[in-house]
């Protein structure tokens, strides 16, 4: 049975491991991938091809889904064998089942069809639906995480 993509939450299915962290900077938003910040308790946005993605930022019901968290605001980072809504980077054509990796600004993108040596460490999951984005356009995409 296929999943229905929620419009107001990040977790779609599964029992996540939740890390209680603090946003470092003002660019952390729900649905974006994060990595360790300056301290182990801090998180910032993952960059393109990041090897150290910790998980995806969950929504806080006190705020709007599209709003960035304030610097030093508490955030929950979800990881584990879950299906979550990530943010797909611009200019991507992703079919269901395609493997994914981190893109710039905490977004995700397609994993290379022919990965180079060491690229397997960049793998963060696979698409649970087909989504296409245009130039300058991002969209939500459901993905099964393996991080």
Q: What is the pTM of this model?
A: 0.96
Mean pLDDT, residues 90-117 taken together? 96
Which residue would you say has higher pLDDT here, 1 or 77? 77
Residues 6+ apart with CB under 8 A from 122: 49, 50, 51, 101, 102, 111, 115
Q: Where are the domains of the chain?
A: 14-79, 83-145
E strands in 10-135: 11-13, 17-23, 33-36, 42-45, 53-57, 74-79, 83-88, 93-94, 99-102, 108-110, 123-127, 131-132
Computed over every residue of the chain, the mean pLDDT equals 95
Q: Each residue of 1-51: pLDDT tens digit?
A: 567 888 889 999 999 999 999 999 999 999 999 999 999 999 999 999 999
């Amino acid at each position: 049975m296929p999943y229905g993509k929620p419009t107001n939450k990040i977790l779609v299915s599964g029992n996540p491991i939740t890390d209680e962290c603090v946003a470092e900077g003002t660019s952390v938003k729900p649905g974006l991938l994060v990595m360790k910040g300056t301290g182990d308790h801090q998180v910032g946005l993952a960059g393109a091809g990041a090897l150290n993605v910790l998980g995806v930022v969950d929504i806080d019901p006190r705020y709007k889904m599209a709003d960035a968290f304030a610097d030093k605001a508490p955030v929950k980072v979800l990881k584990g064998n879950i299906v979550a809504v990530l943010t797909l980077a611009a200019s991507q054509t992703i079919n269901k089942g395609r493997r994914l990796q981190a893109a710039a600004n905490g977004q995700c993108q397609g994993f290379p069809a022919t990965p180079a040596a060491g690229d397997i460490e960049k793998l963060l999951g696979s698409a649970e639906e087909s989504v296409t984005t245009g130039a300058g356009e991002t969209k939500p995409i459901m993905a099964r995480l393996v991080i």
